Amino acid sequence: MTGGLAVIETHPVQYHAPLFRQVEQECGLPVTAIYGSDFSVSGYRDQEFGVDVAWDTDLLSGYRTHFLARAATGGGRSPGQVSARGLLNALKEVQPDALMLQAYSPAFNRAAILAGLRFGRPILFRAETTDVARGRGAALEVSRSLVLSFLYRSFDRLLYIGTRSREHYERLGVTPDRLVFSPYCVDTAAFRAGEDERDALRASVRTELNISTDQHVLLFSGKLTAGKGVDLIVEAVRRLPPPERSDTTILFLGDGNRRAILKTVSGHLPKVDVRMVGFRNQTEVSRYFHAADALVLPSYSETWGLVVNEALHHGVPCVISEAVGCLPDLLTPAVTGEICRTGDLESLGKAIRRVRRLRNSLAVRDQCRSRASQFSLGRAAAGVREAFDSVVALG
């Protein structure tokens, strides 16, 4: 089958593949994903997690796929290793009516942009974009803005994933008629996120981890790296007043190069109660979200933070830093969580204390789930269809 939308990516991504399936099956738009490699489905070593990963959710059905290379026969085993060789020929074979790209880095994506321009069909761009996630010097910020404003002129429609994404495009001169909302979202099919599941899982997981029912559990879910602010969580809890420190447990769901350090530091006096459960696949995470009273994500740089979507879908309020891109869309203080200043231990500690007021409240859990539902797979797919229709109709 030819025509429709061709999506170009380095490899199948667990957060993106469900969107392609939704666009085809629910919006009626044929989708072909042209992938540089299949390493994420054949299994690979994630350098930041520090573990071998093979996602346990379906990343390939419900839409067409075309692989430029396979990891088993020499294809790239990480995004930076993936080659765009053969991409233009693949586009000629698929003959899509429009293309969609989702990043300008690494090199594969820059080659994909050039191939897309040579192919001569309309290009949609849907990426994690923000101006606040990473601190840059003035000179670097100016040069970045010049390059991106020029690049964005090459795209027919830019699909913004949230408020800060839209603000970024507007600042760089993208006009409203070229902007379409396609929110960043997670596929909830693998979750057991409702109240019935919470009732069934919360006590059993706490028993399994030897955490009492009245303990206040702070969850971090993701890569245990310095950039995520994981060290700040331990130190902020250590500085809590003794009664609050003693009834707080930090649950680290994930792996990374800070794991051993976190375990060691948590044992320094005064001790902080920490549990490490390691990396868990998508179908396993619901039990840990339900065991938690709040998610904590004090990242120094985070273009969006999909783990916040995941937590809110489970009814779990979040403490996030000002650098987390989803803040204006998903976080309302005292409603869906609390906010702390980036890299500020005192501010993080105060936010952790405030979020305790939201624990064990059905009303809070309902508010969290309601907010997350506004950033849904269906709404994201509708945005892709809207953008496609607008450029193909013009063509």
Cα(53)–Cα(71) distance, integer angstroms: 14
Please state whether the predicted TM-score (pTM) of the whole model is above 0.75: yes
Task: List pLDDT tens digits, range 277-296.
Answer: 999 988 899 999 999 999 99
pLDDT of residue 205: 97
Cβ pair 29, 5 in contact under 8 A: yes
The distance of Cα 276 from the centroid of its chain, to the nearest Å, equals: 21
The predicted model gives 242-256 an average pLDDT of: 97
Q: Is the pLDDT of residue 357 over 70?
A: yes
Q: Is the pLDDT of residue 2 over 80?
A: no
Task: Look over the chain and give the mean of its residue pLDDT values, rounded to a whole number.
Answer: 94
Q: Of 270 and 142, which is predicted with more confidence?
A: 270
Q: Is the pLDDT of residue 97 over 80?
A: yes
pLDDT of residue 53: 65
Token digits of residue 47: 């350098």
Task: List pLDDT tens digits, range 106-120.
Answer: 999 999 999 999 999
Q: Is the pLDDT of residue 146 over 70?
A: yes
Q: Is the pLDDT of residue 158 over 80?
A: yes
Cα(180)–Cα(387) distance, integer angstroms: 6
The distance of Cα 335 from the centroid of its chain, to the nearest Å, equals: 22
Vertex 379: Cα angle to 38 and 26 (nearest 5): 65
Domain 5-185+376-394: assigned CATH number: 3.40.50.2000
The predicted model gives 204-213 an average pLDDT of: 96
* Residue intervals in the chain for CATH 3.40.50.2000: 5-185+376-394, 195-373
210 conformational bin, left if phi > 0, alpha if psi -120 to 50, beta if neither = left
Of 7-16, 42-51, 308-317, the one with minimum mean pLDDT is: 42-51
pLDDT of residue 132: 82
Q: Which amino acid is at 57?
A: T
Task: List pLDDT tens digits, range 30-56.
Answer: 999 999 999 999 876 665 556 666 667
Among 3.40.50.300, 3.40.50.720, 1.10.645.10, 3.40.50.2000, what is the CATH number of 195-373?
3.40.50.2000
Q: Which residues contact 89 (CB under 8 A, 6 or more apart)?
A: none
Phi, psi angles (nearest 5°) of residue 277: -110, 0
